Amino acid sequence: MLVVMEQNATQEQIDAVTSLIRERGYTPRPIPGGERVSIGILNNEGAVDPNPFLALPGVKQAIPVTRPYKQVSREFRKESSVIRVGDVSIGPGSLTMMAGPCAIESKEQALTIAGHVRAAGAHIFRGGAYKPRTSPYSFQGLGKEGLVILAEVRRQTGMPVVTEVMETETFDLVEEYADIIQIGTRNMQNFSLLRRAGRAKKPILLKRGMAATIDEWLMAAEYIFSEGNDQVILCERGVRTFVNHSRNTLDLSAVPVVRKESHLPIIIDPSHAAGLRDQVIPLARAAVAVGAHGLMVEVHHEPERALSDGAQSLYPEQFDRLQRQISAFYEILCRNGTMGHSM
Amino acid sequence: MLVVMEQNATQEQIDAVTSLIRERGYTPRPIPGGERVSIGILNNEGAVDPNPFLALPGVKQAIPVTRPYKQVSREFRKESSVIRVGDVSIGPGSLTMMAGPCAIESKEQALTIAGHVRAAGAHIFRGGAYKPRTSPYSFQGLGKEGLVILAEVRRQTGMPVVTEVMETETFDLVEEYADIIQIGTRNMQNFSLLRRAGRAKKPILLKRGMAATIDEWLMAAEYIFSEGNDQVILCERGVRTFVNHSRNTLDLSAVPVVRKESHLPIIIDPSHAAGLRDQVIPLARAAVAVGAHGLMVEVHHEPERALSDGAQSLYPEQFDRLQRQISAFYEILCRNGTMGHSM
Amino acid sequence: MLVVMEQNATQEQIDAVTSLIRERGYTPRPIPGGERVSIGILNNEGAVDPNPFLALPGVKQAIPVTRPYKQVSREFRKESSVIRVGDVSIGPGSLTMMAGPCAIESKEQALTIAGHVRAAGAHIFRGGAYKPRTSPYSFQGLGKEGLVILAEVRRQTGMPVVTEVMETETFDLVEEYADIIQIGTRNMQNFSLLRRAGRAKKPILLKRGMAATIDEWLMAAEYIFSEGNDQVILCERGVRTFVNHSRNTLDLSAVPVVRKESHLPIIIDPSHAAGLRDQVIPLARAAVAVGAHGLMVEVHHEPERALSDGAQSLYPEQFDRLQRQISAFYEILCRNGTMGHSM
Amino acid sequence: MLVVMEQNATQEQIDAVTSLIRERGYTPRPIPGGERVSIGILNNEGAVDPNPFLALPGVKQAIPVTRPYKQVSREFRKESSVIRVGDVSIGPGSLTMMAGPCAIESKEQALTIAGHVRAAGAHIFRGGAYKPRTSPYSFQGLGKEGLVILAEVRRQTGMPVVTEVMETETFDLVEEYADIIQIGTRNMQNFSLLRRAGRAKKPILLKRGMAATIDEWLMAAEYIFSEGNDQVILCERGVRTFVNHSRNTLDLSAVPVVRKESHLPIIIDPSHAAGLRDQVIPLARAAVAVGAHGLMVEVHHEPERALSDGAQSLYPEQFDRLQRQISAFYEILCRNGTMGHSM
């Protein structure tokens, strides 16, 4: 960390900073500048908390140099992580396609859609049993009945299933039925849920919070690691900005940054980013091109009857077309060596 | 709701929209425009879900006209709500001051600070026993021990206490000790926590999510109402924007909007918005001036030793000064009749 | 437009709205709702200004239905526009590559880089003669000398050149030398510059403003059209958001939206969006995949000596690699028919 | 500046950084950390350009420590600047009220409104003669005729007038008629306009750009200073964020930050921030409370007939009420010593 003093900081204030640095077991290294003094902190293991320094009079800024995350960082583990679920891999070497409806509405609906996406080449079936809804009066998902349907889809199609968990109370149940457990964007900093996920035996799909920086997102993954579960897949799904022509703004630069900073695989959910079907296919292509390890896409055979998010669901034939396009893209990336274990 | 068709929408597509409107029990009212057709929806009770309409081909937009929230709206309850905790009221007629450290660190620390803020005129003591921290390696709060200290503060000072609950598992415990239960910004859309809060017998202080619109925030309050608890206090604490000179951007226009749309009281937390002490006092004054029903401010007698958020904590003497300034402001507002039950 | 009344609006207030609608020559169509009255406006040609209606008491919202832009809209001109500059086309049917240094620094520098990018397959040479710099003390570009060098690059390589104009005073000069005239992000709403561009005989490359909605961007293009110049190329270059790992957030969903709403070609500048070299190549691939008609990329053979924006400039060999990757992508898109004249 | 190396940076890469530092005439000071090396830069006068360093391989970040602006900084001039226009002062010691219509529409309109605001206590009359409008088809202002009307308002009321200049071509004319020349939010980085303003003999009111950081805003003021004009008033008018209940988000924390970093006076325009009349009065009160040196407010006696921005204009009687409220607030601030020459 670098502690930057105000231009008019007194020697007494500078000394208070160096004392506090020593008190915490680090070594201060003053850097006298033309206009102001800065003080580097040496011999720290891991990140230093800037707050106590910012609390001192005469301090202008405290600039962290060390990244706050540890176990999820590429500096900690050089080799990229590959998550395996049955025969399916997520990480370098694969482009993993997760597809299905926003919400499980009935066994018939789930099996119909699963049949379509399976035939088109999807690897994993997605579908919500517990739905986080803005309104308490909206359809909240089928709950346990939805989980049972997901298990039936797996039995009939052989596809692993991913579904969202919303709370610690139902975590055991979700963990029993799901192959991959999703933590949604609204829960990215639900720390007790993250800790529980850290004790799960199944991989966790961790969506980025709507206003989360990459540091905060990786720290959420660090919570899961800190409890012992290192099977984490990151999922970018758009962030909230002033832009009003799509529901969220898909931040594709997150892919090269995460792949550089962390060893974890990262996939993209273009459906929630776009919010509108017309944008989903172009954004899905872009997500593959930017170097994501997979996609999560919403598909519904009757979107106008969907109980949730019909406007952003692809028709099955659109999903077919998307699959063909991105397979060709992915081949090029592989030939170019872009999808290797490092950036 | 108004369904706006694409300019080149076919008659068949328009008919599909009017059919779907009728199918859902509403009445369609087509509005032929110069360039495109729009279709109004009549005879709906409450908000209509735009998604099924957006899912139909030829539909450009579906524009909601009815607000999605009900019980929290001023249209539902004309009279402003006043929340009472012991002798303290929150709502029109009072300017309620909540103050204390970010985290409870020890009995001595809590009582020292409580003594200061009590003397300066604070009404409610704040202090975190369970702390949501970005890093799993940071101080996470004293937990139950912190709650016990809060009870001791109440006993010795007579001030009601407000503290954050982070999860349903510890909700009973927090409810037992706290006078007001806070739901933090990261949990604003933790729907199971909201539902549990809806079954609590104590008032809930609901902080706005870092990227939440006012509609989403009021819908979170609606979750609490929908389970039977109508004792909700809203708290604006800054939203995330590109602005980098403060930790968050305090959105003071939320106060007149919330006071117009809802009957609930709204207070401001300038400490988390600013992130830096120098900005806290000016923003606190502005919060009173804009018409908030109270403030929540962090105070620490040794901020450079604070285990959490020292940089934004006021020194006790700064809190004194703040109290004197805002009392004078509030008197003027009262004389002007600005703080009445409606906007 | 739809004028939505407050729930408690009086009949008198509703009448004032319908009077104002008639006064302006339109036809009011009231839509009585369960909770509130809305009033549709019929028989308007083009967009209706919402402000006079919002100014009336009892009005809650005035929701535009008609798009504000005319000549740039796809509804106005169904066929996609293709801009031709010498042998080069920009629009459906081509993937046009513009490359070169941020700033022209010397004849040698320009010719060296031009040789590299020409050999790698670039179609148009870019380079700044007039540079908009945040600081008055930074290098401001070579001015006319830079334009002369650009002309020399064109003479020696045959590549058309694109360069930025910053003000009406130097517009004649830039128009004399440039093949395409760029209007930068900071000038997107410099309306006198837009009007002057509307009287130019050369195509205009219009960058999106850092915080502009697509409506505002298309309205800026409408300014150029309104003065008679219909040779406009749009360029997305990232918008400003809270995200701090890239200089700006590249909004790729703008591509499908612009291609649907407008007949104008749209290209992407990944260099300014990213701000850092490591992100440029992945984002450039994504830009092609999403369906852009071209790219504008910064290349420098000695980025650490560059007088402007070295950190985001590709090395020539990186540009080679990028060209190979995107050509392969583009072929797939063409085979798929994704790059046709409509979305 | 602090140059932070990648963890795996080679000694050769570190040496390249120290060489470049020496080459530029500065002194490198390496700071070996536990995980990575950082290199401080000493003996620089003024800010160091981070770009050449970011362009070197192995460099992770280049963190500026020195502020980029000079003449506008409080470090350069300790005493707060007070701008004088006739009998009116803007800066510490005054709360200056600028009021009037968005656009000058006719002599009668201007004089009617000027009479109202003068009687209520306004010091300066505002009104647009040249209007920056999103659409080329909207009312663009009366131009020179508007300037003549402004002069007539000044003659009849004695109030100095402030009006916007949009381009260098009409700058002479505006400078001839106006007492204060406004540069609008869309032109904050129109650098040729800023340079021309730097050669003006009249004070400049510089509005913050819609997505500008405070550093960028102060650098725009620095452009004006760099040409010799040190009469600059800053005006915060809201920034663009995801928030959709107001037209822009008023960033009041800019006031304490600007007052700390710069000696320039800062006023607030709550009308453009809010976009809706109901929010203007509360935000205006907050602006005074936060410590602004003045306000700029739109007032219209017939907002529903206004040719521009009627929805945000106050009725004259609302402006009266506002004046009474804020005068009382300002007195308290003065008694508290909050409005002194430093923060």
Express each pLDDT in D2-46 by its tens digit: 888 888 899 999 999 999 999 888 888 887 766 778 888 877 777
The answer to whether residue B283 neighbours chain D at the CB level (below 8 Å) is yes
How many other CB atoms sit within 10 Å of the CB of residue B42? 15
> B195 and B127 share a domain?
yes
- CA distances to A78, A256, A292, A342, B143 from A93, rounded to whole Å, are 16, 16, 11, 11, 45
Strand partners, B268: B236, B295
CA distance B185 to chain D (A): 16
Half-sphere exposure for B258 (CA within 13 Å, toward CB): 29
Binned at pLDDT 50, 70 and 90, residue D88 comes out as very high
CB contact under 8 A, C249 and A253: yes
Whole-number percent of chain A with pLDDT over 90:
71
> B193 and B291 share a domain?
yes
Nearest residue of B to residue A57 by CA position?
A: B304
Q: What is the ipTM score, two decimals?
A: 0.92
The answer to whether residue A181 neighbours chain D at the CB level (below 8 Å) is no
> B91 and B55 share a domain?
no
Q: Which of B:13-32 have CB within 8 Å of C?
A: 29, 31-32
CA distance A112 to chain D (A): 38
> D254 and D202 share a domain?
yes
Nearest to A185 by CA among B170, B211, B226, C238: B211
CA distance A240 to chain B (A): 7
CB contact under 8 A, D44 and A33: yes
**Domain total of chain A:** 2
> B186 and B135 share a domain?
yes
C240 φ, ψ (degrees, to nearest 5): -90, 125
Task: Write out pLDDT tens, residues A122-158.
Answer: 999 999 999 999 999 888 999 999 999 999 999 999 9
Q: Is D327 left (phi over 0), alpha (psi -120 to 50) or beta?
A: alpha
Strand partners, A85: A88
Cα–Cα distance between B128 and B109 in angstroms, integer?
12
Whole-number pLDDT of residue A277: 85
How many other CB atoms sit within 10 Å of the CB of residue C139? 14
Best of A253, A280, A314 to substitute, by most chain C Cβ atoms within 10 angstroms, is A253
The answer to whether residue A4 neighbours chain D at the CB level (below 8 Å) is yes
Best of A7, A26, A35 to substitute, by most chain D Cβ atoms within 10 angstroms, is A35
> D193 and D165 share a domain?
yes
Cα dihedral angle (A55, A60, A61, A62), rounded to 10 degrees? -50
Whole-number pLDDT of residue B34: 64
The structure tokens 């990244």 sit at: A67
CB contact under 8 A, B44 and C33: yes
Nearest residue of D to residue C302 by CA position?
A: D55
- Tell me which chains share at least 3 CB pairs under 8 Å with chain C: A, B, D
> D238 and D147 share a domain?
yes
Q: Which of B:209-238 have CB within 8 Å of D?
A: 211, 213-214
Q: What is the CATH number of the domain that holds C48?
A: 3.30.70.1140
> C219 and C256 share a domain?
yes
Q: Is D203 left (phi over 0), alpha (psi -120 to 50) or beta?
A: beta
Residue C69 lies in a domain: no
Which of A20, A35, A63 corresponds to the end of one domain? A63
B149 φ, ψ (degrees, to nearest 5): -65, -40
> A290 and A143 share a domain?
yes
pTM score, whole prediction: 0.94
C49 φ, ψ (degrees, to nearest 5): -70, 120
Residue D331 lies in a domain: yes
pLDDT per residue as tens, chain C (343 positions) = 888 888 889 999 999 999 999 988 888 888 776 677 888 887 777 778 888 888 888 888 888 777 788 999 998 899 999 999 999 999 999 999 999 999 999 999 999 999 999 999 999 999 999 999 998 988 899 999 999 999 999 999 999 999 999 999 999 999 999 999 999 999 999 999 999 999 999 999 999 999 999 999 999 999 999 999 999 999 999 999 999 999 999 999 999 999 999 999 999 999 998 888 889 999 999 999 999 999 999 999 998 888 887 788 999 999 999 999 899 889 988 887 777 544 4
Tokens in use for D37? 């090396």
Residue B237 lies in a domain: yes
Over residues A54-58, the mean pLDDT reads 87
The answer to whether residue B306 neighbours chain D at the CB level (below 8 Å) is no
**A116 in Cβ contact with A297 (< 8 Å):** no
The answer to whether residue C124 neighbours chain A at the CB level (below 8 Å) is no
Tokens in use for D302? 């017939």
Residues of C whose CB is below 8 A from A328: 332
CB contact under 8 A, D36 and A2: no
The answer to whether residue A279 neighbours chain B at the CB level (below 8 Å) is no
D337 has pLDDT over 80:
no
Best of C39, C241, C242, C245 to substitute, by most chain B Cβ atoms within 10 angstroms, is C242
> A285 and A197 share a domain?
yes
Higher pLDDT, A311 or B110: B110
Nearest to B167 by CA among B182, B177, B151: B182
Cα–Cα distance between D145 and D107 in angstroms, integer?
9
Residue A74 lies in a domain: no
Whole-number percent of chain D with pLDDT over 90:
71
Average pLDDT, chain A: 92
Binned at pLDDT 50, 70 and 90, residue B343 comes out as very low
Residue A123 lies in a domain: yes
DSSP code at position A203: -
The answer to whether residue D313 neighbours chain C at the CB level (below 8 Å) is yes
Which of C11, C34, C63 corresponds to the end of one domain? C63
Q: What is the CATH number of the domain that holds A152?
A: 3.20.20.70
The answer to whether residue C169 neighbours chain D at the CB level (below 8 Å) is yes
Whole-number pLDDT of residue D340: 60
Nearest to A234 by CA among A204, A256, A213, A257: A204
> D53 and D150 share a domain?
no
CA distance A216 to chain D (A): 19
Residue B120 lies in a domain: yes
A148 φ, ψ (degrees, to nearest 5): -65, -40
The structure tokens 């009949």 sit at: C11
**D251 in Cβ contact with D292 (< 8 Å):** no
Q: Which structural domain, as residue segments, surrounds residue A28?
A: 2-63
Q: Is C275 left (phi over 0), alpha (psi -120 to 50) or beta?
A: left
The answer to whether residue A65 neighbours chain D at the CB level (below 8 Å) is yes
Cα–Cα distance between D78 and A165 in angstroms, integer?
57
Residue D342 lies in a domain: no
Tokens in use for A187? 């829960």
CA distance A104 to chain D (A): 31
DSSP three-state, residue D154: helix
> B182 and B308 share a domain?
yes
Higher pLDDT, D50 or D159: D159
Residue D68 lies in a domain: no
CB contact under 8 A, D309 and C51: yes
Whole-number pLDDT of residue C340: 59
CA distance D72 to chain A (A): 15
Cα–Cα distance between B202 and B162 in angstroms, integer?
10
Best of B1, B5, B73, B242 to substitute, by most chain C Cβ atoms within 10 angstroms, is B242
